[in-house]
Amino acid sequence: MKKLAIVGLVSAALFGVATYSIAVQRDSDSALLREARKYFQPLPKEIPAPPDNPTTKEKVELGKMLYYDPRLSLSGVISCNTCHNLATYGVDNVETSLGHGFKTGGRNAPTVLNAGFHIAQFWDGRAKDLEEQAKGPILNPVEMAMPSPELVVERLKSIDEYVKAFKKAFPQDKDPVTYDNVAKAIAAFERTLVTPSRFDEFLRGNTKALTKTEKEGLKLFIEKGCVSCHNGVGVGGNMFQKFGIYKPYPYQDPEDLGRYNVTKNEADKYVYKVPSLRNVTRTYPYFHNGKVWDLREAVKIMGETQLGITLTKEEVDKIVAFLDSLTGRIPEHALKLPVLPPSSPNTPRPQK
């Protein structure tokens, strides 16, 4: 009987320790959640649309077709999806994208996923919204190289199914096949490209959505000051910042002056839009010139250049673990290839 009593006391003591540990962990998780909610918000189901371009089913369907259609390029082989491949999280996973005539630009193609939450588009913020951004690459001689908006419209108007699709998407317009409406349709489609992740589950109150290591990484991400730039719905994307506050970025091209090229303000030299960190484990290589392929190296560089600190290997590993919790689910509808309408005998031919 004494042995049984001792065993019972030991079991009760162990149970009490376990219960206490669980309670402590629960309190710790709750505190971390409260702290995280000061800096981050979970993704909504859809990106808000501007008043002059409300999101409709017809517009999204048209925009998806245009997004995947290489006939928006002069050569007839490059589409939006070429550089912003939705199957690889909205990027092409190369330093700088291959464009018309095998030309390459000077900057890495950022992901299109969740891009509508950003303060502006492109690394230097030269486009105010998705509509303005969509117009750029089509006419850029290094990218899709169409010589004019008129040729884009001519190609589309020569395809009966596109004419019908534009009429459905823009029923109020007498002449709906316009370059502005091309951009509006693509932007409407892109506003559906929202990728919720386990981190959103955590922010909504499910503290079990993250592992112990990921929570430790989140805690470090906050404590080290990463949240000073990478915050909000996109965990970034909502501000501009100089790259190289405490130490120069080691792979900086001195000729790329960043936002200065847009504003001509001396203070904007080497200033870029802070990228969103959502899906960052899948959107390599990193930074505006795509020179860094290892996310751990990227985190280490950020600590040195932007925060003036040297992160230990353990700290880097934990932060990278947290960043993996930002990997979201690509919408199924975006990954289903549209069947594109055939060209007609009157469709202007591709050009080299």
Domain spans of the chain?
57-194, 197-324
pLDDT at 20 over 50: no
**Residues 108-164: pLDDT tens digits?**
999 999 999 999 999 999 999 999 999 999 999 999 999 999 999 999 999 999 999
The single residue of 143, 214, 216, 315 carrying the catalytic annotation is 143
User: For residue 297, which phi and psi values (nearest 5 degrees)?
Assistant: -65, -40
pLDDT at 17 over 80: no
pLDDT at 6 over 80: no
pLDDT at 270 over 90: yes
Of 18-22, 102-106, 258-262, 289-293, which range is least confident? 18-22
Fold of 197-324: Cytochrome Bc1 Complex; Chain D, domain 2 (1.10.760)
Spatial contact of 229 and 277, defined as CB atoms under 8 Å apart: no
Residue 235's identity, in one-letter code, is: V
Tell me, what's the pLDDT at 26? 74
Burial class from Cβ neighbours inside 10 Å (0-12, 13-18, 19+) for residue 335 reads: exposed
Closest to 135 in 3D by CA, of 89, 94, 190: 190
Tell me, what's the pLDDT at 14? 58
Closest to 227 in 3D by CA, of 32, 34, 30, 40: 40
Closest to 263 in 3D by CA, of 271, 253, 274, 275: 271
Fold of 57-194: Cytochrome Bc1 Complex; Chain D, domain 2 (1.10.760)
Q: How many CA atoms lie within 13 A of 311 on its CB side?
A: 27
* 315 included as an active-site residue: no
Q: Which residues of 66-81 are buried (b: 16+ CB within 10 A; e: fewer)?
A: bbbbbbbbbbbebbbb
For the chain, the distance separating the N- and C-terminal CA atoms, rounded to the nearest angstrom, is 93
Residues sharing a CB contact under 8 Å with residue 163, sequence separation 6 or more, in sequence order:
156, 157, 177
Angle at Cα 12 formed by Cα 7 and Cα 16, nearest 5°?
A: 150
> Rounded mean pLDDT of 26-42?
95
Spatial contact of 234 and 197, defined as CB atoms under 8 Å apart: no
How far is CA 56 from its chain centroid?
22
- The pTM assigned to this predicted structure is 0.92
Whole-number mean pLDDT of the chain?
A: 94
Burial class from Cβ neighbours inside 10 Å (0-12, 13-18, 19+) for residue 252 reads: middle
> Rounded mean pLDDT of 325-330?
98
Tell me, what's the pLDDT at 35? 98
d(CA 46, CA 43): 8
> Rounded mean pLDDT of 161-184?
98
Spatial contact of 96 and 102, defined as CB atoms under 8 Å apart: no
> Rounded mean pLDDT of 39-57?
96
Alpha helices in 196-240 (DSSP H): 198-203, 212-223
Q: Residue 323: left (phi > 0), alpha (psi -120 to 50), or beta?
A: alpha
Q: How confident is the model at residue 294 (pLDDT cuts 50, 70, 90)?
A: very high
Tell me, what's the pLDDT at 253? 96
Residue 37 has a CB neighbour count (10 Å cut-off) of 14
> Rounded mean pLDDT of 245-269?
97
pLDDT at 9 over 80: no
Q: How confident is the model at residue 46 (pLDDT cuts 50, 70, 90)?
A: confident
Strands 240-242, 271-273: pairing is: antiparallel
> Rounded mean pLDDT of 335-347?
96
Tell me, what's the pLDDT at 232? 98
Residue 88 has a CB neighbour count (10 Å cut-off) of 16
What percent of the chain is modeled with pLDDT above 90?
91
**Residues 204-251: pLDDT tens digits?**
999 999 999 999 999 999 999 999 999 999 999 999 999 999 999 999
Of 10-24, 70-84, 124-138, 249-263, which range is least confident? 10-24
